[in-house]
A and B are shown apart, each in its own frame.
Chain A
C-alpha cells in the first residue's frame, strides 16, 4: 500500500481542526474582549520501514499549536460608567472559584453586597498592596454612592451621598483595579467565558495600559481573514480528499491488475 494516503489523511484532519477554529472565531465575532485563535501546522516524520532495504519516511502534518491573536479589538463607545476598555498591554484580574483569572472584557456590574463583578458574577480584583505576593482585594461600591468615575490608571471614585441624596463631600477614592501584564513564559491561555489563565505571576501594568471608561473592547476577529481561512480549510480538505481518492484508485488498480497477471 502507498504510504502517501496517510499523509493526505493527516492533512485532511488538520484542516478539520482549522475549520473548527475558524468556526469559533466567527461565532465570537461580537463577543466583548474575545481574542481570535490562529492554527499553526507542523510536519512530522515517521520512519515507516526503517528496517527495510530502502528506508522510507512518511510525512505527516498535524496541528502544532493554536495561539490567540494578541491585537486589541476595536473600542466601542457605550457611555455606561461601568463599561471599561483597556488600551495597551494589560488585563483585568477576576476571582474565579478555581483561582485568579484574567480578562479584557470590562463590562462590570455591582453585586447585591456592593462588590464589583463581571457580567457572570465573579468579583473583579483591586490593586494589592504587595504586587509580588497578591492577596485578593475586592472593590466594594458603598451603598450611598453617586456617579462613578474611573481614571486611566484604574482608580475608581464616586461621590458619597446621605440617605436624602445630599452630597457629603467631594469625590472619594473607592479603589483601584488590579491591572497586570504577562511575559513570554507565563503560558497565558484561554479558559472560556472570555477569561484567561496563566502559570506565572504577572507584573503590574499601570504604565503600559490605560482604562477608558464608557467604552468596551470588541472581538479582534477579522471577518475577511475568517472567510479566507474558511475557504482555505475547505478547499485544502477537498484537495486532500482527492489525493486520498487517487491513492485508493492506485491501490485498487494495483490489486486488480498486478493480481490478475500473476
Chain B
C-alpha cells in the first residue's frame, strides 16, 4: 500500500492538534493572565532505502541516499510566556505584573501554585486572595477599617485607616520566577504548577532580578493575539487541506492501479 496514505494521516492529526490549541487560545482571549499554548512537532523515523555514502554498481560512492519519511508526531505543548497587554481598570485590588514574575497562590491542599492573574479580592478575614478565594503567599491581611489600599511597584502594600492621614505598611508581595517558564504545567483556572522542565521557583521582591514590577489598577490581559491565532488557524486549515489532497491523490493512484 501507499506509504503516503498513512504519512498524510499523521499530518492531518498534527493539524487537528494545532487547531485544538488555537481554539483553546482563542476561547481565552479575554482571560486575565492567560498564556497562549503552542504544539511542538517532530518528523517520524525515516525508511532508509540506501544510505548516503553507499556505492553504486560502478563502484562510485554516492553522495546522497534514499530516505523516505513517514510523517510527523506531536512531542509536546508549551505555554508561551510573553507579556500580555495591560488594561486599566482603576480597581485598587487589580495588580498587573510587568516582567517575568508570578504571584504565589496556596491551594487548599497546601500546594503552592503560580499565576499571573492579579484580579485580587479581600476575603472575610481581610486576607488578600485570588478571585477563586485562594490566599496569596506571603499572606497579607488588610485591616477591616482600611479606607484605601496602595501597592507600590516593588510590592509594598500599605493601607490608610479611615480618619488617619498616615498610611501604614501591612506587608510586601513577593513574586516567583522560573528559568524556563515554558516548562510550567497549566492546571486550569489561570494557575501553573512547576515541573522538572520549568526549574525551581525563585522568589524575590518585585522589581529585582527580572521578577517585574507591579502596576496597581491594571490587569494583564491574555497574550493571545487574535490576528496571529487567525493566521495559525488559516495555515493549519490549509495544511490540513494539503494533507487531505495527498490522501485523495494516493487514493486516485490506488484506484487506477486496482482497476
- Evaluate contact between A21 and B243: CB separation under 8 angstroms: no
Which B68-86 residues have C-beta < 8 A from chain A?
Answer: 68-72, 75-76, 78, 80-82
Given A187-B63, A191-B45, A230-B249 in contact, is the A167-B209 Cβ separation under 8 Å?
A: yes
Q: A165 near B: Cβ within 8 Å? A: yes
Q: How many residues of A contact B (CB 8 A)?
A: 75
Q: B144 near A: Cβ within 8 Å? A: no
Whole-angstrom distance from the CB of B45 to the nearest CB of chain A?
A: 4
- Evaluate contact between B181 and A80: CB separation under 8 angstroms: yes
Given A20-B2, A80-B181, A159-B209 in contact, is the A66-B11 Cβ separation under 8 Å?
A: no
- Evaluate contact between B199 and A190: CB separation under 8 angstroms: no
The interface residues of chain B lying within 8 Å CB-to-CB of A23 are 3-5, 7-8, 11, 71, 243, 246, 250
- Evaluate contact between A144 and B202: CB separation under 8 angstroms: yes
Q: A3 near B: Cβ within 8 Å? A: no
Using C-beta atoms within 8 Å of the partner chain, give the interface range for chain B.
35 or more
Cα–Cα, bound, A101→B82 (Å)? 31
24 A-B Cβ contacts within 8 A? A16-B2, A16-B4, A19-B2, A19-B250, A20-B3, A23-B3, A23-B5, A26-B239, A28-B11, A30-B18, A31-B41, A79-B81, A82-B182, A110-B183, A110-B199, A143-B200, A148-B180, A167-B204, A187-B53, A189-B64, A192-B43, A193-B75, A237-B256, A238-B253
- Additional 19 contacts, C-beta under 8 A, given A159-B209, A165-B205, A193-B75: A19-B2, A19-B249, A23-B3, A23-B246, A24-B43, A27-B8, A27-B11, A30-B41, A32-B41, A63-B49, A65-B63, A65-B66, A67-B64, A146-B177, A147-B177, A165-B208, A167-B208, A230-B249, A238-B253
